[in-house]
Each structure stands twice: as structure tokens, then as C-alpha cells.
Amino acid sequence: MTNIQEVISAVRAGEIKGFLHESEAVCLFRYCTKLNALGSALEIGSYCGKSTVFMGQAYREGGSEEHQQGQQYHDPELWDTQLSGVNTFSYFRQTINQFNLDDIVMPIVAPSKVVAKNWCMPLALVFVDGGHSEAAADHDVLAWSRFIEPGGALVIHDIYKNETEGGQAPKNAMLKLLAQGCFYLERKVGSLVVLRRKAPKRYNRMGAS
């Protein structure tokens, strides 16, 4: 069975297409490991399976006793002539299968908005790395944060201090969520941030504990 070191070696060998830096992917893996007892994790914006493998591997190891066209990023290998568009799904399935995660990862091929509208399951962790426009980032951060359990995490990719470093839409969405007061920023690794949902204070007869 694959372990996280084998996943990292495969990434270093360039076997999986994707955008996460190794330190960001390892941070995502660690939070999925830490939170998997709280419930399932959801990824918004899978590509060819790179981030998904780190998340899936954490959920796999969590249950193990042995060990815990023209666009900037266009990739011609992923062009589907029948669909006349980019199609990463066969590549994604191949990646998931390569790391024996078919029984852990449940792909949903649909726009994030459609899935969110029909979703009702509480989640331990949501990883947002989908559309990077203001509208898409606002939707994904604000809509999906509602499903996160107290103590759970919202992980967001591509948070940059200013425009010279990168687009500001994910950061603006994050700031809107933080202003609501239910989440706090716990960690930043590269451009990846981890927000945690505050747990409600426990009260006894003498007041807050």
C-alpha cells in the first residue's frame, strides 16, 4: 500500500500535474490527518488529483494501524477534442487509481455552486482551490464554510499579500469570512492558509469554562 513518502516521491518525480508546493501539500495532508476523526473532507476544484491524493492519503492513513488553449495554465495534453474543452477527469481517475485511493475519494463532477446548493452533510475540512474570480472565490469560501463542524478547518489556496504576488480574490473572500467572526486564521504555509471554526464556549452554572 502507498504511504505519504511514496506520494511525495511521485510528486518530486513530476508524476502528478498540479499547482500545490510540497510544503502546502504536506500542510493539507497534516490537517486532514488531524481532523479525519471529526468527519469527511471536501475539495473544491480538483484538477488532475495532486491535492486530492494528499487529502485521500491522510484519510487512508487515518484508518490504518500501521502508520498514521491560450490560458496561462493551459496544458495541451488535457485538451478533449470531443468536448472542445479541457478535461482532467480521466487524468484525475488515473492518479487516484495509481495511489489506490478509489475506495477513499468520491469525485463529484459538477460546478461548485450546483453541489453546494444540494449539499447537507457536515464536514471536518474543506479545501478551496476552484474558480479564482471574485464571484467564485466569494461563493466557495462563504457557501462551503457553513458546512464545517466546530473545530474543523477551511483551507484556502492562493492567498497573496498584494497583486504583485498574485490575484486577490481568495484573500478578499477570506477577509469577508473572518469578519463574520466564526473562524480564525491558524496557519499559513506558502500561499495556503488554514482557518479553524471556533468551537462554542462550554457553560456551567458558574459561567463560561
Ligand X SMILES: C[S@@+](CC[C@H](N)C(=O)[O-])C[C@H]1O[C@@H](n2cnc3c(N)ncnc32)[C@H](O)[C@@H]1O
Instruction: Give yes or no for residue 191 binding ligand X (CB under 6 A).
Output: no
Taking CB under 6 A as the criterion, the residue among 78, 101, 126, 136 binding ligand X is 136
- Shortest Å, Cβ 153 to ligand X: 16
The interface mask with ligand X, positions 78-107, x = CB under 6 A, is ----------x-------------------
H-type helices in 36-133, by residue range? 50-62, 89-98, 112-117
| DSSP strand pairing (41-44 vs 123-128) | parallel
Residue whose C-alpha cell is 464554510? 145
Binding of residue 29 to ligand X (CB under 6 A): no
Regarding 197 and contact with ligand X (CB under 6 A), the answer is: no
Query: In the bound complex, what is the minimum distance in angstroms from residue 23's beta carbon to ligand X?
Result: 13
| CA-wise closest residue to 138 among 116, 121, 120 | 116
Among 33, 61, 129, 159, binds ligand X (CB under 6 A): 129
The one-character DSSP state at 159 is: -
Nearest approach, Cβ of residue 80 and ligand X (Å): 13
CB 208 within 8 A of CB 202: yes
- Using CB under 6 A as the binding rule, whether residue 51 contacts ligand X is answered as yes
Decide if 152 contacts 35 (C-beta within 8 A).
Answer: yes
Residue 132 annotated in active site: yes
Cβ neighbours around 58 below 10 Å, total: 23
CA distance readout (Å), 207 to 116, 126, 199, 200: 37, 33, 16, 13
Nearer to ligand X, 34 or 132 (CB): 132
CB of 69 to ligand X, least distance (A): 14
CB 23 within 8 A of CB 189: yes
Q: Evaluate the CA torsion angle 2, 12, 152, 47 in order and state its sign.
A: negative
Among 7, 11, 20, 155, contact with ligand X (rule: CB under 6 A) = 20
Say whether residue 47 binds ligand X (CB under 6 A): yes
112 binds ligand X (CB under 6 A): yes
Minimum distance between the CB of residue 181 and ligand X, rounded to whole angstroms?
27
β-sheet bridge partners, residue 80: 85
Local structure of residue 199 (DSSP, 8 states): P
Residue 130 engages ligand X in binding (rule: CB under 6 A) = yes
Footprint of ligand X (CB under 6 A): 18-20, 45-48, 50-51, 88, 111-112, 129-131, 136
> Which residues are part of the catalytic machinery?
132
